[in-house]
Amino acid sequence: MTTTYRVQAYNLSHASENRIHDDATAQRFGFTGGLVPGVEVFAYCCHPAVEKWSRAFLNRGEITAGFQKPVYDGRLATITATPDGDGLRLQVESQGVACASGFARLPAASPDPVILADWQAPSPPESRPKASDASLAPGLWLGTRALEVTPQVLADYLRDVRETAPLYAEQDIAHPGLVLRMCNWLLTQNVVLGPWIHIGSSLRFHGEARLGEALTARGRITGNIDSKGHRMVTIEALVLANDARAVAQVTHEAIWRPRQVAEAGG
């Protein structure tokens, strides 16, 4: 049976260094206003999967989401989940526009254990270089500083993504959107970016992120290509709890230099 979930979208990155979330900058790029971050649209997509599979999804589930059109601050977003084979086909619409699509499933088996030695963990630089083909070259490894999962962090994120499921607060579990946000940090803590756009992620959970833990991410750049004038980067990432336990493996994609910036000589 198809289910729907509705959220009044909230742009929690108004003051972000990424000015694509600022109304004035976004309008110069042809958008109506500041974009709600893709990480938060992803967070909305997780709701029906967790509703269906509960904590099992947070421990071994898979979800892919791609963002085609913006969801704007204060606008109603409708997430539709339709059974499809062994999973759920996900669609996000806002103001009659198809904004995102994805697929979620619950594999029968847990993922293979992660070999941490295969994942380098550099510290972010004290002085970040400007984003470029050199600083985002395929093969480079990136790391993040830690995010302490405090009661305030958990509560603030649940409030900001308008999450209605009681599971997270009752069980002291970090929301999947907060886990994915660590992959954005692989970019923002390592290079200085202009306006940039998260365009999609594929995530396989290895376990819950919990209250009292410290989240970090480490990842390797696997692609930096031109697509219709945009420069796009792909990162294969691992999110860890306490630098010891795998929480999720992620393929994370972003436009790090929109063609409008390139055309303006930026």
CATH of the domain at 16: 3.10.129.10
pTM recorded for the entire structure = 0.91
**Predicted confidence (pLDDT) per residue in 119-167, tens digit:** 999 999 999 999 999 999 999 999 999 999 999 999 999 999 999 999 9
Please give the pLDDT value at position 39.
93
**Predicted confidence (pLDDT) per residue in 73-90, tens digit:** 889 999 999 999 999 999
Which segments in the chain show pLDDT lower than 70?
Answer: 13-34, 261-266
Please give the pLDDT value at position 20.
45
Give the total number of structural domains in the chain: 1
SS (H, E, C) the chain: CCEEEEEECCCCCCCCCCHHHCHHHHHHCCCCCCECCHHHHHHHHHHHHHHHHCHHHHHHCEEEEEECCCCECCCEEEEEEEEECCEEEEEEEECCEEEEEEEEECCCCCCCCCCHHHCCCCCCCCCCCECCCCCCCCCCEEECCCEECCHHHHHHHHHHCCCCCCHHHHHCECCHHHHHHHHHHHHHCCCECCCCEEEEEEEEECCCCECCCEEEEEEEEEEEEEECCEEEEEEEEEEEECCCEEEEEEEEEEEEECHHHHHCCC
